[in-house]
């Protein structure tokens, strides 16, 4: 058998780059504009994220169970506005209520309580709550959102290029055969640098702390990607949807972002409270 030409391996490896680049060129400016606007526009964007992720998750995990779809959609869509109108405590209580209803439906239906059926409600409902909690900080809300976007986008892009250009040992071959340790290293380095750039441009203090924070969020972004890959493999699904060219569904594109945002909001709320979560995240 003739040996493959060098280009035979390179072309498939990079064949989705054009579509990914075009999608990013359209989506990134829109997302940044909505983040800058804040207010009702950012709330609507968070609700749209919850709606899309809930629909894709239920299509993948619960198949044709309309009841579970309604439960997940309502929980995901309402978490952000309930938090803004009544407070994060009420939003968390609402999520717990719908979580109990979802688990009860699984239990009474006799379906197996797999991790994917158990984790659906928090997975689709907490990210919108995390985003509006961080953006709602009157002083550092926009900065926190911009830092998360910069870190995640840089990490995701670096993991893509480093993984394909360098290759090497697989990170988690049983879950995602395309993930490599080189990609993870590239993601952490690029995410750290991106966070430092945002910190420098916005005059954030304690650059060393911001660098460590950014590297940690980049690693969490990669873990979020692996989590979604594991769910797709368990459910025998290639993509969660086809809404975004070159990426698949919203979950395929936002898996790392929602993991990083939830971790950032949790850390920020722990250090600064819900009302100043962005300050708690960025001021050390």
Helix axes 39-61, 66-86, angle to 10 degrees: 160
CA gap 4, 28 in Å, rounded: 37
pLDDT higher than threshold 80 for residue 112: no
Q: Is 253 helix (H, G, I), strand (E, B) or coil?
A: helix
Distant-in-sequence, close-in-space partners of 103: CB < 8 Å, separation ≥ 6: 113, 118
Q: Would you state the pLDDT for residue 238?
A: 84
pLDDT digits (tens, 9 = 90+) for 164-186: 888 788 888 888 888 899 999 99
Q: Would you state the pLDDT for residue 177?
A: 83
> Taking the C-alpha atoms of 35, 26, 48 and 252 in order, what is their torsion angle to the nearest 10 degrees?
-110
pLDDT higher than threshold 90 for residue 13: no
Query: What pTM did the predictor assign?
Result: 0.90
pLDDT higher than threshold 50 for residue 51: yes
Q: What is the mean pLDDT of residues 113-127?
A: 93
Q: Which residue reads 């979560």 in tokens?
A: 277
Q: Are 129 and 91 in contact (CB under 8 A)?
A: yes
Q: Find the radius of gyration of the CA atoms of the chain.
A: 19
pLDDT digits (tens, 9 = 90+) for 231-260: 999 998 887 876 765 567 899 889 999 999
The values of phi and psi at residue 86, to 5°, are -115, -20
Provide the token pair at 68.
């579970």
Extract the runs of DSSP E, i.e. beta strands, from 21-83: none
pLDDT higher than threshold 50 for residue 8: no
Provide the token pair at 182.
């080189």
Q: Would you state the pLDDT for residue 7?
A: 40
Query: How many Cα neighbours within 13 Å face the side chain of 210?
Result: 25
Report the b/e string of 61-75 with b at 16+ CB within 10 A.
bbeebeebbebbbbb
Cα distances (Å, whole numbers) of residue 275 to 81, 133, 271: 15, 7, 11
Q: Are 181 and 168 in contact (CB under 8 A)?
A: yes
Query: How many Cα neighbours within 13 Å face the side chain of 140?
Result: 25
Q: Is 209 helix (H, G, I), strand (E, B) or coil?
A: helix
Q: What is the mean pLDDT of residues 104-129?
A: 89
């Amino acid at each position: 058998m003739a040996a493959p030409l060098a280009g035979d391996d390179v072309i498939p490896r990079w064949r989705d780059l054009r579509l990914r680049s075009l999608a990013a060129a359209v989506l990134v400016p829109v997302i940044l504009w909505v983040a800058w606007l804040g207010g009702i526009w950012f709330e609507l964007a968070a609700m749209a994220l919850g709606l899309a992720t809930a629909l894709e998750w239920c299509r993948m995990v619960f198949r044709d169970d309309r009841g579970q779809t309604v439960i997940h959609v309502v929980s995901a869509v309402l978490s952000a506005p309930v938090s803004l109108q009544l407070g994060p405590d009420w939003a968390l209580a609402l999520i717990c209520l719908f979580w109990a209803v979802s688990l009860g439906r699984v239990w009474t239906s006799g379906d197996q309580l797999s991790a994917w059926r158990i984790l659906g409600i928090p997975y689709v409902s907490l990210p919108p709550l995390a985003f509006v909690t961080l953006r709602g900080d009157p002083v550092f809300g926009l900065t926190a959102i911009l830092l998360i976007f910069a870190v995640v986008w840089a990490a995701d892009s670096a993991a893509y290029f480093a993984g394909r250009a360098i290759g090497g040992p697989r990170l988690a071959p049983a879950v995602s055969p395309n993930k490599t340790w080189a990609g993870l290293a590239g993601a952490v380095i690029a995410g750290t640098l991106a966070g430092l750039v945002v910190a420098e441009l916005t005059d954030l203090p304690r650059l060393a702390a911001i660098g460590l924070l950014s590297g940690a969020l980049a690693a969490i972004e990669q873990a979020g990607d692996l989590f979604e890959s594991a769910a797709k493999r368990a459910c025998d699904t290639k993509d969660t949807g086809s809404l975004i060219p070159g990426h698949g569904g919203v979950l395929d594109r936002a898996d790392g972002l929602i993991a990083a945002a939830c971790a950032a909001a949790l850390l920020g709320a722990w250090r600064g409270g819900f009302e100043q979560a962005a300050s708690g995240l960025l001021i050390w």
